Amino acid sequence: MAPRKKSSKTAVPAKAQGVIQGAGDVVEQPIVSTIRENYMPYAMSVILSRAIPEIDGFKPSHRKLLFTMYKMGLLTGGRTKSANIVGATMKLNPHGDSAIYDTMVRLSRGYEALLHPYVDSKGNFGKFYSRDMAWAASRYTEAKLSPICAELFRDIDKDTVDFVDNYDNTMKEPTLLPASFPSVLVNANTGIAVGMASNICSFNLKEICETTAAIIRDPDHDVKSTLPAPDFIGGCQILYDEKVIDQVYETGRGSIRLRARYAYDKSQNCIDILSIPSTTTCEVIIEKIIDLVKQGKVKEISDIRDETGLDGMKITIDLKRGVDPELLMAKLFKLTTLEDSYACNFNVLIGGVPMVLGVKALLEEWIAFRIECVKRRTFFDRTKKAERLHLLQGLAKILLDIDKAIKIIRETDEEIEVVPNLMIGFGIDKIQAEYVAEIKLRHLNREYILKRTQDIEQLEKEIAELDDILKSKARIKTIIVKELKAVAEKYGEPRRSIIIYEDTVQQYHEENASVDDYPCTFFFTREGYFKKIRPQSLRMSNVHKLKDGDEITQELEFSNDCDLLFFSDKAQVYKAKADDFDSTKASELGDYVAAKLGMDEGENAVCMVATKDYKGMLLFAFENGKAAKVPLEAYATKTNRKKLTAAYSDKSPLVGALWIGEDKEVLFTASSGRMLLVHTGALALKTTRSTQGVAVMKLKKGHRLFAVGEYVENTFAKPQRYRTRSLPALGALPSNEDKTDEQLSLI
């Protein structure tokens, strides 16, 4: 590289130019150390201090906000401006005011996202079910703590939980809240951390308290007996699936299906959607329905609008005349988020470690946490009473000789010697002497001292009772159960979400969809092309356009409202609706079935069957001379399956498949030219689709079954020539009067 030319200008020091020395230099650093030093601390901070809730049911942002409001006296006082709360919370929460206010909105009664809101709000706080309804700025709204928060902060000043310094070491804040009920499962909570997430659904407060109390009394309690299913704020319906509920209760993971609740107004011919799953919004549903109407997938709706107001959420759908509302709703449940899934992921921080727990395991962890809180509260009360008793015991000794106490104090020359002299004179310790020395002169009378010392016996009994509680885990559990019952009675509400069973609701399948029914003729060719032609079009022109070498092998007069079964050369059957195919003309090639139905590579359609009721039988003929008779209903499915494997036996190539309404004569033709007339009644009906069938036609070496078709009366001059009394049979060569090309081309 050529040497750089020196500038003629005088060099200016980097500092004077405002340039940082070394800026822009590339420093190599191993990726492993970068992740360890920079990314891992960030990930741990997000997991432990931001996104994952702890056993009290709160994330740090929730806890800081509620504790600030508690310290502001908003549990019993009146509401204050939300901006004041946000400003005060910033002493504990280093994030900006917008993040803090957003947190408060989601905890508020006005937002309606929680079964039991923690913030009693006034003003516009938006709605959880609306994407576009923005909440007002914090300077316009007011808030205070809801009454149920008294259960979150009960005895928080009695050393029930640990306190730590805030981010700048100027205040103390609790690491957990000593909630007297399992708040972790009462209100929904969602968080996304780094590499993990948490999504806890809500449960009814009464049911949770009852279940927790039952587990305390009996560790083997069946949770489902008292906690049948979650409960959601919107009041939507829960499609009950016992296996899913068991999975959620045992593992903490599972997907619960929710669907909207609606009412049909017959006088207005409209459907009112009154609640929706908590995983979606009104705008998403309305936009999706409008899109479906534009695409022509939903033709029963004339108008849709959002009528949400003071009475709550409501989406109104106007119907066209003659529409079945239940069938339409079943269709919308399938095509929109009016039916949605809530993916449960009960990921909770237990002792600083993220753990995915089932409902029972989570309640057991909460019970252990609550036992520790009650123990610490009891020990705090015992310590305070013991300190009080100690002071009163010193005061009782003064009662023996008040004059002596006065004399000691009066005769003491220096103030600093008063306490030591009282200690010596009455045999009391420094704390007791300090207490006596601080008594006012007016209180140094027998009546005052007797009143104070009357509580000694009561305090001794209370301390003994508290000692007994600390020694007995059973008594602590009894206290917790009593508190749970009190919470359930005071704050419990009826279940909002209705539990419905899947077999009691109408499911939408494409066969239930309204299809224009009209007569049409189906054509299927040897190369696998399909045409659906209306009679009027066929009358105008019946000259078919086909590929070179192709020919029509099947022609059926049917209607548009039917199922089509296309059997492939890979022993599979593909099901479709006739309405799925566009009407065409004879002058067009039609649809290539293999491409239309998405068949596997190298797979081709060889036979077609049309049906509405899946009645009758299918006769399969194979090149090895065997035939199988299978009921058509074997191909009917409850679910809307498009493809069935093992549709017939794959032991020998398929020659053809015939639909037979009732047993009749069928003509089998071999490549040797021999023909055999067989009555299908002689073949046993098989229930298994993939049966190999029975031998029907004996074949000479090097020959195969060539064709199969229904026998038409008077086709042969002497049909008995081709009949046989037993199977398998060799068949007969056609006589001179029967030799035509038509019989050989029957399929």
> What is the torsion angle, in degrees rounded to the nearest 10, for the CA atoms of residue 548, residue 550, residue 556 and residue 560?
-60
Residue 649 per-residue DSSP state: -
Q: Which residues contact 1 (CB under 8 A, 6 or more apart)?
A: none
Do the Cβ atoms of 370 and 216 come closer than 8 Å? no
How far is Cα 352 from Cα 60, in angstroms, rounded to an integer?
13
How far is Cα 238 from Cα 727, in angstroms, rounded to an integer?
59
Relative to beta strand 498-501, strand 237-240 is parallel
Candidates 618, 621, 619; CA nearest to 635 is: 618
Residue 118 per-residue DSSP state: S
Residue 93's alpha-carbon distances to 45, 87, 97, 472, 606, in angstroms, are 14, 10, 9, 39, 71
**Listing from the earlier edge strand, what are the strands of the sheet with 617-622?**
654-660, 617-622, 626-631, 694-695
Instruction: Compute the C-alpha angle 294/300/302, nearest 5°.
Output: 70
Q: Which one is catalytic: 101, 111, 129, 140? A: 140
How far is Cα 323 from Cα 326, in angstroms, rounded to an integer?
9
How far is Cα 227 from Cα 206, in angstroms, rounded to an integer?
9
Residue 277's alpha-carbon distances to 228, 373, 540, in angstroms, are 18, 36, 54
* Beta strand residue intervals within 280-393, DSSP E: 301-306, 315-319, 339-345, 347-350, 353-356
DSSP state string for 19-84: PPTTTT------HHHHIIIIIHHHHHHHIIIIIS-BTTS--HHHHHHHHHHHHTTTTTS--EEHHH
Instruction: Please say if 240 is a catalytic residue.
Output: no
The pair phi, psi for residue 73, each rounded to 5°, is 80, 25
Coil/strand/helix, residue 437 = helix
Candidates 87, 587, 570, 514; CA nearest to 327 is: 514
Please report which helix (H) or strand (E) contains residue 479, including its range: helix 473-491
* Residue 237: strand pairing partners: 259, 498
**Token digits for 537?**
């079009």
How far is Cα 739 from Cα 536, in angstroms, rounded to an integer?
37
Do the Cβ atoms of 349 and 63 come closer than 8 Å? no
Q: Which residues contact 32 (CB under 8 A, 6 or more apart)?
A: none
Q: Which residues contact 13 (CB under 8 A, 6 or more apart)?
A: none
Q: Which residues contact 541 (CB under 8 A, 6 or more apart)?
A: 585, 586, 587
How far is Cα 161 from Cα 63, in angstroms, rounded to an integer?
13
In the chain, what are the helix, strand and coil shares in percent, each to the nearest 5?
35, 20, 40
The amino acid that residue 15 corresponds to is K
Do the Cβ atoms of 645 and 686 come closer than 8 Å? no
Q: Which residues contact 64 (CB under 8 A, 6 or more apart)?
A: 89, 92, 93, 173
DSSP state string for 493-556: ----SEEEEGGGSPPP-GGGS-----EEEEEEETTSEEEEE-HHHHHH-------TT--EEEEE
So which residues are the catalytic ones? 140
